[in-house]
Structures are given as structure tokens and as C-alpha cells.
Amino acid sequence: METRIRQIDKNRIDENIIEEAAEILQNGGLVAFPTETVYGLGADALQEEAARKTYAAKGRPSDNPLIVHIADYEDLRKIAVNIPAETDMLAAHFWPGPLTMIFEKSPAVPYGTTGGLDTVAVRMPVDPVAAALIRAAGGFVSAPSANTSGRPSPTTAEHVAEDLNGKIDMILDGGPVDIGLESTILDMTVSPPMILRPGAITAEMFEEVIGPVDVDQTLLSADSVQAPKAPGMKYRHYAPKARLFIVEGDLREEILAIRQLSYAAHRKGKEVGIIATAETLPFYNHGIVKSTGSRENEKTIAKGLYGVLREFDEENVDTIYSESFAAQGIGKAIMNRLEKAAGHQTIPAADIVRRQKYRRILFVSSTDSARGPVAAELLRNRNLKQEYVIGSAGMVVLFPEPANQKAEAIMKSAGMSLEGHSSRQFDREDIQEDSLVLAVDGTIKEKLISEYGQINNLYTLNEFAEDDTEIPDPYGQPLPAYGECFEVLKKLVQKLADRLDSLAEGEI
């Protein structure tokens, strides 16, 4: 079937396009349309045959009921019965909007639409294109998310086309959606009402209007043996092609852990995917990193999440690590979708972080112009099991200078270079819990102690490398002295690298 794609501007709705789409629906066809949550795959909710087509196009199990979308509150009474009293208040606050309520169904709603249930899920979307289409099509449009079952829900018309082009009659392209996560589902057939799926409308928001609501316990724990109350929640929805892991901890730990994991993969010649945010993007230097949005406004993360998951399906990665997000407000819905996408696979960030003792290695010499920078560059050239920020500093550096020319000549002859090096003074800031400070000789070590007091991880290079060879100071001597010093440093740095690798307990 040829899928007609029509652009539509929600601020200036073209009635001809709405008519064309509504006619398709009335004839039992399928039209994807924008809503504020995600794109919906619309069908006439009162035609059993149309529901069957919906399931076929999505490849969705037919016991997974559809949500019926209405445009006018009065219409609720035509499809639902025994509507509880709180409904008016909830509708007044949250409709039109990203809230789906479940009621006992009226006989008007076919079992095909409700997946065989005696209840019906109803939502009144705020998107003006959706509202216009629903009205023009007769008032009742069933619409699950317009994706292939098992893929992330579509937040743009392009996503819909990726999945359903050729399988449905029309796509109304109204641009990217606002929210990006599916509606909150609230079961009104129980008292107090119960949240079956978290969304942009949160438990706290309900509480302000009608008092406390319940939350389906299966949403709270991964290992619940009970089936969730919304039939659709039992399927592993939103699954990316790659294995997705959520790295959980405080943000700093998450970043460090993901850095370690992505470095370990990179070292094996593999690139992983990383789900990050605008704020954390700059901290990653390996892997394919994508930002879902900004931590300053979690709504942007909700909006970007599914698009990022889809983008990763186009990338050649078999593992994705995601940061986690605050479990409050919309963060709850974000984490719920992310956990489903990950099949609840999480990695405690602290467990990974703990495996790496040092993250910075600093070589300290007197002027930071020869031995220190040479050692640092030699170490950077080792393919270490873990990633370190490797640098050098001097005890007396009055102003920044390039590396000693003889040291540079020796490095060049060994196929390396100190180009770009600029000497700098050792600083109290260089003493950090995770930094290993290596003095090039005993005198420097003593000076460090006398100036800064006890430093936790301070050694001479040969101490730490467990080798007695002293590093000669070639300062002021001819080139061969620099060559000899280089050979000693090379041997010690190799031992240092072995020692560091042996500290890197186990492979990640």
C-alpha cells in the first residue's frame, strides 16, 4: 500500500487534509497523527475490523488493548459507564492532556479495541491536529503508538515512516511532539485510582487534585512475579537493538564508570554507545555519545530519549551505557521507559569506579622540562588497561617553557615528541585522592614532602616501579646523557605500566 504523507501545521490547520484523513478513518483505514505525547496510529475505535488492522500494521499482540482518543469531554459517556465522581475533577485539570483513564466500557466499544477487556482506556489529547482529526472522524479514534511493536515510540513523523511506511494509509506530519513519552495511565475502576504507567502527569499532581492514588507495584520493582495491570506493560517495549545498561549512582560516579567501561571497550577495538546529557557530553572521550537533553530541564530528556534510542539502532554498537535520571517528576517516567528498554539491566556505578584506584598520574621533576615530560609521554604511549590523565609538573617553574631541546631530540629519534609541552609549577591542587604523584628522584620527593607535608600517593618513580635504578639528571650535559636518561626512563615506565595494569583488577 502507498502511504500518503501530508505535512500539517498545527497553528494553521488545513481542513482539506483533515477531511482526507478522516475519510480514511471512517472507511476503516489507518492514519498516523501527532499528539503531544508520541505519534499515534489512528483507526476508528468503534469498528472492530479497524482495530484488527491496527494490530497487524504494528505487529502488536492483540491482547494489548488500544487507547480510545476523544476530543470532547461529553463523548466520554458514550464509551464508558460507571464513571466515578473524581473523573470530572481530573478531566478539568488534566484534559486535554497526557492522561489516559480506564473505565468500564459501554457496549459501543468493540472487544477488538479493548483487547477483549470489559474496560476501555480513554484519552483526550491536547494537540490541535489530533483534536481536529478525532472530531472529523466521528469522535472516537483508537491510537496506540505509531511504531512497530518492540521499537521505541515515534516522536517524529520520520520515525513513523521508518516503521510503518507502506503499511498504513496516511501519515500526518505535524513536526516533533512536545512530551516524547506516552501518557500516564490511571485506572479509574479501582478506588483509589491506580497509576498503571507513569508519564508526564505524576502521582503528586493527582494527589493535589483528588488525594492519594495507588501505583501498580509491578512498576516499582524489576523482579516482581506479578503481571502488570496494563497488559501492554508486560511486553519488552522500547527495546533498542544493542544491549542497554543503565549505570546507576551519583552523577560523578556514573560518568567515571561509563568512562571506564567505554575505555575498556575501546581498548579492545570496540566502540560502545553512551546516552548522556548536554551537561555530561564533554566528559566522554570514547564511544558514540549522544545527548538526550539537558539535566537543567528533564522535560528535554523525556523528549529526546526515544529519538536517541532509534539513532543507536542505526549505529554499529552492540552495547549502550546510559546515565540514569532523577526518579522524580517526569524523571520517573523517563526511568520507567529506560528500564524497560534495558530489560532492567543496571550496573551500580560504584562497583566499577571502585576498580580504579588512580585516575591521574603526575610526574614531578625540578623544572618540568625533560625527565618529567619524557616519562609522561612514554606512559601515554602505553596501551594501559585503565585510562589515566597523565601529566607532569616541576618544583621550580617560573614561567611556562617548551621542553628541553635535547630531550626533544632524543624523543624524536625514538619516534615520539614533546611538541606542545609547556612546563608548569606543581600545585597543591595536584594532590587529589585519585592522583598518583611520582617524583623522578628522591630529592624531589623530599622537597615535595617538606613543602606540602605528607602526600598520600607519593612515590619516586623507581620506588613505585619496584626497580632500584636511579634516574640520572642530564641537565646541562651533552646529548648522550639525555639518551642514557631516556633509556632508564623507558625501562622504569614499562615497569610502572605493568604495575598499573596489575592494579587494574580483572577485566571489565
- With CB atoms as reference, the residue minimizing the distance to ligand AMP is 232
Selection from ligand AMP, Mg ion, none that 87 binds (CB < 5 to 8 A by kind) is none
Selection from ligand AMP, Mg ion, none that 307 binds (CB < 5 to 8 A by kind) is none
Which residue's CB is nearer to Mg ion, number 100 or number 324?
100
**Taking the complex as a whole, how short is the minimal distance between the CB of residue 333 and ligand AMP, in angstroms?**
12
Map grid coordinates 477487556 to a residue. 117
Question: What mask of x and - would describe binding to ligand AMP in positions 185 to 214, judged by CB under 6 A?
Answer: x----------x------------------
**Taking the complex as a whole, how short is the minimal distance between the CB of residue 75 and ligand AMP, in angstroms?**
17
The residue from 13, 117, 210, 242 that contacts ligand AMP (CB under 6 A) is 117
User: Which SS3 state, helix, strand or coil, does residue 199 take?
Assistant: coil
Task: Give yes or no for residue 233 binding ligand AMP (CB under 6 A).
Answer: yes
Task: Give yes or no for residue 154 binding ligand AMP (CB under 6 A).
Answer: no
CA distance 31 to 14: 16
Task: Give yes or no for residue 184 binding Mg ion (CB under 5 A).
Answer: no
Q: What is the DSSP string of 81-116?
A: ES--THHHHHHHHH-SSSEEEEEEEPTTS-HHHHTT
Amino acid letter at 125?
P
Task: Give yes or no for residue 231 binding ligand AMP (CB under 6 A).
Answer: yes
CA distance 371 to 427: 18
Taking alpha carbons only, the member of 464, 481, 480, 463 closest to residue 472 is 481
Task: Give yes or no for residue 119 binding ligand AMP (CB under 6 A).
Answer: yes
Amino acid letter at 179?
I
Pairing type for strands 40-44 and 31-33 reads: antiparallel
Which residue's CB is nearer to ligand AMP, number 105 or number 359?
105
| Contacting Mg ion within 38-67 (CB under 5 A) | none
Selection from ligand AMP, Mg ion, none that 36 binds (CB < 5 to 8 A by kind) is none
Which residue's CB is nearer to ligand AMP, number 120 or number 171?
120
- Does the N-terminal peptide bond of residue 192 adopt cis geometry, omega within 30 degrees of 0? yes
496-497-498 Cα angle (round to 5): 90
Selection from ligand AMP, Mg ion, none that 185 binds (CB < 5 to 8 A by kind) is ligand AMP
**Taking the complex as a whole, how short is the minimal distance between the CB of residue 377 and ligand AMP, in angstroms?**
56
Angle between helix 371-380 and helix 405-413 axes, rounded to 10 deg: 30
| Contacting Mg ion within 127-156 (CB under 5 A) | 145
Quick one: which segment of 111-119, 280-288, 396-404, 452-460 binds ligand AMP (CB under 6 A)?
Answer: 111-119
Task: Give yes or no for residue 423 binding ligand AMP (CB under 6 A).
Answer: no
CA distance 370 to 354: 34
50-53-54 Cα angle (round to 5): 90
CA distance 108 to 46: 7
User: Which SS3 state, helix, strand or coil, does residue 21 take?
Assistant: helix
Contacting positions for ligand AMP (CB under 6 A): 64-65, 67, 102, 114, 117, 119-121, 144-145, 182, 185, 196, 230-233
Contacting positions for Mg ion (CB under 5 A): 145
